[in-house]
Structure 1
Amino acid sequence: MHTSLSSKAVRDNRHELIIKAIKLGYKLLFSSLLLSLLVLIGYVFNVDFFYRHFSLDLAVHRLTLICTLLTSTSFILIAYHKNKLVQLISTSVFILTAIRLFDYLLGPQFIFNNLPYYIADIFNLIFDMHEEKNIMGLNTTIMFLLLSLSSLMRTLNKPNASQIFGFLSLSIPTISITGYVFNLSEFYGSMSPVTTVYGLIISIGVLCISAHKGAIKAMLLPTFGGRLARYLSIIGYSYCFGLGYLAIKSIDEFGNTSLFGAYVVAMCWFIILILAVSALTYEKEDKSRRFMEKYLLQLSREDPLTALYNRRGFYEEIGKEIKRRKRKESNACFIIIDIDSFKKINDQFGHGVGDEILKLIANIIKNNLRSTDIICRLGGEEFAVMLPDTDIQECCEISERIRAKVRGTNVKSKIRFNSPEFVSISIGCSLLPSSSSNVNETLEKADKALYEAKIKGRNRVCIYDDSLKKKSGPI
Structure 2
Amino acid sequence: MALTTKWFGLLSNNRTSVTLSQTLALVVLLLSGTSVAGYLLELDALYRPIANGPATNPLTAVVGVLLAICLFSSIKKQPLLVMLCAYISLLLVSIRIVDVLFFTNNAKLLTLFIHDYTFEDQQGQTNIMGLNTALMLEAVAIATLCRLYRFRIASQLLSFSALSIPMTAITGYAYGVPSLFGEMSFITTTLGIILSLSALLANANQGIVRVLLSSHIASRVARAQMVGSYLFAFILGLLVVQSFMHSPIKSLISAFVVAVSWFVIALIGIGVLIQDRADRKRRLTERKQRQSENKDLLTQLLSRAAFSRKLQTAVTRQRRYQHALCFLVIDIDHFAIFNQKLGRQTGNELLKRIAKTLKTNCRETDILCRYGSEEFALLIEVKTPNGALVLAEKLRAAIEALQIEGVTETYGAVTVSIGCATLSNAISAETALSNAEKAMHNAKCSGRNQVVAYEAYS
Relative distance call for 1:63 and 1:126 in structure 2 (3 A) is: farther
Q: Which amino acid aligns with 2:45?
A: F
Contact 2:229 2:261 in 1 (8 A): no
Structural mapping, 1:319-334, within 5 Å: none
Query: Secondary structure of 1:190's partner?
Result: coil
Aligned partner (choices 225, 229, 235) of residue 235 of structure 1: 225
Answering whether residue 132 of structure 2 is matched by residue 146 of structure 1, we say no
Answering whether residue 210 of structure 2 is matched by residue 210 of structure 1, we say no
Query: Secondary structure of 2:304's partner?
Result: coil
Displacement after TM superposition at 1:59 (Å) = 1.3
CA distance in 1, matches of 2:138, 2:153: 17
Displacement after TM superposition at 1:105 (Å) = 0.8
Relative distance call for 1:207 and 1:279 in structure 2 (3 A) is: closer
Answering whether residue 430 of structure 2 is matched by residue 355 of structure 1, we say yes
Displacement after TM superposition at 1:139 (Å) = 0.4
Deviations 1:379-433 (A, max 9, x none): x945xxxxxxxxxxxxxxxxxxxxxxxxxxxxxxxxxxxxxxxx79849xxxxxx
| Matched residues, number | 333
Displacement after TM superposition at 1:57 (Å) = 1.7
Structural mapping, 1:16-31, within 5 Å: 17-31=13-27
CA distance in 1, matches of 2:286, 2:168: 45
Relative distance call for 1:196 and 1:424 in structure 2 (3 A) is: closer
Query: Secondary structure of 1:173's partner?
Result: helix
Contact 1:127 1:136 in 2 (8 A): no
What is the aligned partner in structure 2 of residue 197 from structure 1? 190
Relative distance call for 1:191 and 1:234 in structure 2 (3 A) is: farther
CA distance in 1, matches of 2:228, 2:152: 28
Displacement after TM superposition at 1:99 (Å) = 1.2
Contact 1:160 1:214 in 2 (8 A): yes
Deviations 1:119-158 (A, max 9, x none): 6999976996977732211100111111221222333343
Q: Which amino acid aligns with 1:88?
A: L
Contact 1:63 1:126 in 2 (8 A): no
Deviations 1:414-464 (A, max 9, x none): xxxxxxxxx79849xxxxxxxxxxxxxxxxxxxxxx73x234xxxxxxxxx
What is the aligned partner in structure 1 of residue 408 from structure 2? none
Contact 1:71 1:93 in 2 (8 A): yes
Contact 1:337 1:425 in 2 (8 A): no
Deviations 1:295-329 (A, max 9, x none): 5532324413779xx99xxxxxx9xx969xxxxxx
Answering whether residue 56 of structure 2 is matched by residue 63 of structure 1, we say no
Query: Secondary structure of 1:58's partner?
Result: coil
Aligned partner (choices 172, 177, 182) of residue 179 of structure 1: 172
What is the aligned partner in structure 1 of residue 446 from structure 2? 454
Relative distance call for 1:240 and 1:262 in structure 2 (3 A) is: closer
Aligned partner (choices 33, 37, 41) of residue 33 of structure 2: 37
CA distance in 1, matches of 2:292, 2:38: 67
Structural mapping, 1:388-407, within 5 Å: none
Contact 1:176 1:187 in 2 (8 A): yes
Displacement after TM superposition at 1:18 (Å) = 3.5
Relative distance call for 1:175 and 1:87 in structure 2 (3 A) is: same
Q: Which amino acid aligns with 1:472?
A: N
Relative distance call for 1:160 and 1:61 in structure 2 (3 A) is: same
Structural mapping, 1:66-77, within 5 Å: 66-77=62-73
Relative distance call for 1:265 and 1:35 in structure 2 (3 A) is: closer
Displacement after TM superposition at 1:94 (Å) = 1.3
Displacement after TM superposition at 1:206 (Å) = 2.0
Relative distance call for 1:214 and 1:303 in structure 2 (3 A) is: same
Query: Secondary structure of 2:232's partner?
Result: helix
Query: Secondary structure of 1:78's partner?
Result: coil
Q: Which amino acid aligns with 1:144?
A: L
CA distance in 2, matches of 1:188, 1:45: 27
Query: Secondary structure of 1:237's partner?
Result: helix
Deviations 1:179-222 (A, max 9, x none): 22233322211111110001111111122233345543444455
Answering whether residue 293 of structure 2 is matched by residue 298 of structure 1, we say yes
Relative distance call for 1:21 and 1:267 in structure 2 (3 A) is: closer
CA distance in 2, matches of 1:181, 1:272: 25
Q: Which moved more, 1:276-285 or 1:78-87?
A: 276-285
Contact 1:18 1:217 in 2 (8 A): no
Q: Which amino acid aligns with 2:160?
A: F
Relative distance call for 1:80 and 1:51 in structure 2 (3 A) is: farther
CA distance in 2, matches of 1:252, 1:273: 28
Contact 2:222 2:269 in 1 (8 A): yes
Relative distance call for 1:354 and 1:161 in structure 2 (3 A) is: closer
Displacement after TM superposition at 1:281 (Å) = 11
Please report the TM-score for the alignment, with normalisation by the length of structure 1: 0.54
Query: Secondary structure of 2:73's partner?
Result: helix
Displacement after TM superposition at 1:266 (Å) = 12
CA distance in 2, matches of 1:95, 1:221: 36
Q: Which amino acid aligns with 2:197?
A: I
Aligned-residue sequence identity (percent) comes to: 20
CA distance in 2, matches of 1:267, 1:68: 25
Aligned partner (choices 143, 156, 174) of residue 149 of structure 2: 156
Displacement after TM superposition at 1:26 (Å) = 1.2
Displacement after TM superposition at 1:232 (Å) = 0.7
Displacement after TM superposition at 1:263 (Å) = 12
Q: Which amino acid aligns with 2:165?
A: I
Relative distance call for 1:272 and 1:194 in structure 2 (3 A) is: closer
What is the aligned partner in structure 2 of residue 93 from structure 1? 89
Contact 2:419 2:451 in 1 (8 A): no
Displacement after TM superposition at 1:249 (Å) = 1.0
Structural mapping, 1:334-345, within 5 Å: 343=420
Contact 1:17 1:220 in 2 (8 A): no
CA distance in 2, matches of 1:75, 1:473: 69
Aligned partner (choices 240, 254, 277) of residue 250 of structure 1: 240
Contact 1:342 1:354 in 2 (8 A): no
Q: Which amino acid aligns with 2:219?
A: A
Question: What 5-or-longer segments of structure 2 have no aligned partner?
Answer: 1-9, 297-302, 310-328, 331-338, 346-372, 378-416, 453-458
Q: Which amino acid aligns with 1:78?
A: S
